[in-house]
Structure formats: C-alpha cells, structure tokens
Amino acid sequence: MPHLPSHKKRITTIGVGLLIVLALGTAVWLLLWCKCNRTKRVRQKELELLGGMGPRGFDLHELAAATSNFADENKLGRGGFGSVYKGYLKDLDLDVAIKVLSEKQSSEEQSEQGLREFKAEVKVMTQLRHRSIVKLVGWCDSNKRLLLVYELMAQGSLDKHLYNQERTLTWQQRFRIVLDIGSGLLYLHRDCEKCIVHGDIKPANIMLDVSHIAKLGDFGLARLVDHGEEPKTTQVVAGTLGYIDPEFINNRWPRTQSDVYSFGIVLLEIACGKRPASRQPNGASSLLAWVHNLYSQGMTLDAADQRLNGEFDRQQMERVIVTGLWCAHQDPIQRPSIVEAMDVLRSVNAELPVLGAVHDSRHIRAMEEQAFADLTAEDRPVRAVTQSRYFTSNDSSYLLAEE
C-alpha cells in the first residue's frame, strides 16, 4: 500500500508527458498545414494573376473525374514532360487535352524548377488569343502535380497526317496549313505585347482541329523578349534535331530568326513529304541539302511529294519550297522576317527571292552532333533535348521575362 501513491504519481507524470507530446505534435502539424496552405494560396494567386480573365484554375479531382481518373484508355500520348490525356469537362461541356507536366519531384530544387517552368508556360499561354494558337483552358497545381488543360484538337498532330501510309493530305489542305502556321507565328513575333519566340516549331507541335485548321501548340520552350531588344544568351540548347537553327547552337541567342529557320524546314517537309534529317534519293544527308540541290539546277518542283501525283498548284508549290529555303538560309541576316515570308506565301504577285548558298548539310549535322552529344555528362555546360515535347533543365531563367 505505501507504494500506491508513487505509482499513481508515475502514471500522472506519464499522462501529462503524453499530453504535452500530443499538444506539441498537433501544434507542429497545424503550423505545417497552415504553411502549406499559405504557400498553395500564394501560388494559386500568382497563377490567377497570370491568367487574368482567361484560363482558370482547376482542382485535381475535377480533372481526375474528366479523365476517369487518368485511365490508360484516355491517354493520348507521352513525352519527356509526362503524359497527355483526353478529358471531358461537364460544367463547360468541353472536350479537352490534359497535359501532366510533372509528378512528385525528387528534391525541393527540382520541384521549384518544375513550378517555375509551369508558371512560365502559363504566363505565355494566357497572353495568347489567336485562331492559329492552341487555346489554354486552365491549369492545376495540386499535391505537386502540375497540369495544363488545353482545347482538344480532334485530328491530332501534323506529323501523323504527313506520314500516314493509308491517306495523305491533299495539296489544298497542306497549303492552308502552311498559311495557318505562318499566321500563328506572325502573331507571336509581331502582334503580342512581348515578342514570343516559340523555340520548338515542328510537325509534332502543330495540331489540327476537326476542320484541319492548324494551330501551334506546346510552349514549354517559349521565350518572352521585348520588341526591338536583343535576347539574353542561355547556357541551354533546347530544340529538336533537324529543326533547330544551327546558329542557335553556336551563339545560344533565342531569336525570332531561329523560329523562322524551323518554319522553313517545316515548309519543306510539308511540300516534299520527307523528314528533315533522313537520307534523300540522291544521297544527300538532309532534306534541306536535297531540295537546295534541285533548286540550284532549276528543278524545284521535282522536290514535290510524289504521293500527290502531280495534283498541286505549281505556283503555290514553288512559293512554299523557295520560301522554305529562304527561311532556312545559312546566314540569319539573309533570312526573311515572318512578315516577309508571309507576304511571299500569300501573294501571287510577290517576287520570289533568288537564293545563294544555304548551310552545307554536313556542317549542320556536325554542329548538331556536337551540341547534342553526351547529354548525360554531369559537367557538360550545354544541355539539350532532342525528342521531348516539354523541356526541363537546371537553367530556366530564360523562360520568364524580367518584370
């Protein structure tokens, strides 16, 4: 019996200790919860300010419901950025494409990097209002999952149609696509408040709606540049082999001339129905070298896609091919602006340029291979992407214009 008070005291002490630990744990949890909530509200507010009155924020559960919880049967594709899913938003009665930009990151630094690039793309896309630009419907920033919601382009990407073995695009469809792409690029370079350099123009990033109207999409590599100002150099070489401007590999200036170069390569690809980096019938190592060789011999129309069986407007075909060569000129100073290129494409009365030399294909390949080789080397000063449709690197300072 004399030990009972001591035992009771011990139980009381333990009970008090447990209550203190529980209280401290609850306080820490509440502090962390408040901090996370505050951070989330700040990030959401930043995105809302970027979005203005256009695209809006979505909750993750809304997008999960729209895609049947991101079911495999709704997956439209996958790239280095993540996956794209088809979805249906009931409240908007709208079919959409939902692009998952990042899952949980392995470090806080990578997470902040992903968020920065996510905000950069939102900032670019919310400024754009043009029939030839894929429309951003909204975004989601939840549980470290970053998603962008776009209008669904029913016909998919241009590359799937250019190389469809069963059914090819008619020349009328191709020429309209050329004008659509050029119109979108003209809007980005000239008509936006800040000049926007797309940075990755290629058929895989050109989407077609149900009427085969072409729209530029995927602005993960886009740069904002003040009109008339020289862009800052970047330590990052980003783009896709065959379309990337060799001069950008050299000087790392994200300029409109680089978009014009890529546009020129796409024009040749649309007209000729051949991939830019594939070996050509005469042994040329690139589409650009093959077409320029035919042009220099006065045989420009021989480059036309044989699958068209000669069913094309000869004047339009010549204008597209020559403009493509002009845009891909070896000297960026000799390239047209997108305004000049569109003047030639749109007008039957515009005088075609007389072209000199273009980049030697072996020189182009050597530069590309040098820039894109050994991408996994940790001490490599230049990092590049060759296949991904969404770019991630340690240097994203070029993505957002300075305030």
The residues spanned by each domain of the chain are: 56-151, 158-372
Label residue 51 by pLDDT band (50, 70, 90). very low
* Two domains, one topology: 56-151 and 158-372: no
pLDDT, greater one: 245 or 383: 245
Residue 99 assigned to a binding site: yes
CATH superfamily name and code, 158-372:
Transferase(Phosphotransferase) domain 1 (1.10.510.10)
Tokens of 371: 């820039």
pTM for this structure?
0.76
pLDDT tens per residue across span 263-286: 999 999 999 999 997 766 666 668
Higher pLDDT, 223 or 17: 223
CATH number belonging to domain 56-151: 3.30.200.20
Q: How many CA atoms lie within 13 A of 230 on its CB side?
A: 6
Catalytic annotation, pick one of 141, 180, 200, 305: 200
Instruction: Tell me whether residue 59 is one of the annotated catalytic residues.
Output: no
pLDDT tens for 151-172 read 999 999 999 999 988 889 999 9
d(CA 137, CA 89): 10
Query: CA–CA distance from 14 to each of 24, 103, 210 (Å)?
Result: 15, 43, 71
Q: Is the pLDDT of residue 133 over 90?
A: yes
**Helix boundaries (H) for 187-297:** 246-251, 256-272, 287-296
Q: Which residues pair with 158 in a beta bridge?
A: none
- 228 CB-contact burial (10 Å; exposed 0-12 / middle 13-18 / buried 19+): exposed
Please state, in angstroms and as integers, the Cα–Cα distance from residue 141 to each residue in 103, 122, 176, 308, following that order: 11, 11, 37, 46
Whole-angstrom distance, CA of residue 203 vs CA of residue 187: 18
